[in-house]
Amino acid sequence: MKLHCGTHTLDLTSPQVMGILNTTPDSFSDGGSYYAGGGLDLDLVLQRAEQMVRDGASILDIGGESTRPGAEPVSEAQELERVVPVVEAIRQRLDVVISVDTSTAAVIRESAAAGAGLINDVRALTRPGALQAAATTSLPVCLMHMQGQPGTMQSKPEYTDVVAEVRAYLDQRLQACIDTGIARERVIYDPGFGFGKNDEHNLALLRNLPQLAPDDIPILVGLSRKSMIGRLLDRNVDQRLPGSLALAMLSAQRGAKIIRVHDVAATTDVLKMQKLIDHPL
């Protein structure tokens, strides 16, 4: 299985590591990490991007709008200011697939023009104009399931059958993409762990990961440092690496093709060891 991302092609026969690079002041784990003197410091962003590529990331996911529980939307202008210069700078400096974590049509268009190779949308292209904007880029799109919106999504989420409902939603968004001119081979599914789900919902989705997508649709999983790990293991954000690594390996074993993480080097080691076990030298 291959994914064509602009000028790059990803081989998904082995799981790929997506490094998280949030250019927001308020993301739950690394918010504000790249701000100095009151503004975004591109040098700090590039240093982190270079380190993640050295550590094994084949994709860097740039996010300019926090989607943590309780987060408020940002303006289009703010998001453009936080994302597009970063895409341009990384594109000039590094040979890596640049993913943009956005739901906004203008950010989709401008990021693609700046050199992005993947659109990663937690709202599954439901904002006005997003589907059409994504279609015009000819880039792959990751469609995520979220019950509600970031500001309210963790307020008592309920499902009759979380696995069936998440799959049905993603299938419906796939059809919307196809109807808008986005080819099936450009689509990725993300179950949206922690986005309008309680711990049991998240665990059920992970147990049944292969059921969440057709065989020809790759699955992206984002469980790194999630609050679920904190609740289940009683760990603060800076103590969640072992739990994150366990979930990364379990996700890969269940068929995830892209693992979205904060801790690239450690995750890359885990996946390399798994590959050696599954495919001996």
Instruction: Give the Cα-Cα-Cα angle 65, 69, 75 (nearest 5 degrees).
Output: 25
Judged against a pLDDT cut of 90, whether residue 236 lies above it is answered with yes
* pLDDT, tens digit, 9 for 90 and up, residues 116-159: 999 999 999 999 999 999 999 999 999 999 986 665 556 677 89
Q: Is 273 helix (H, G, I), strand (E, B) or coil?
A: helix
DSSP-assigned letter for residue 27:
-
- Mean pLDDT for the stretch of residues 5-33: 81
Per-residue pLDDT at 28 = 47
* pLDDT, tens digit, 9 for 90 and up, residues 170-180: 999 999 999 99
Per-residue pLDDT at 147 = 85
pTM over 0.75: yes
Q: Which tokens hold the place of 27?
A: 């993301």
Contacts of 157 (CB under 8 A, 6+ apart): 147, 148, 196, 197, 198, 201
Per-residue pLDDT at 164 = 97
Domains of the chain and CATH, by start = 2-278 (3.20.20.20)
Active centre residues (catalytic): 226, 260
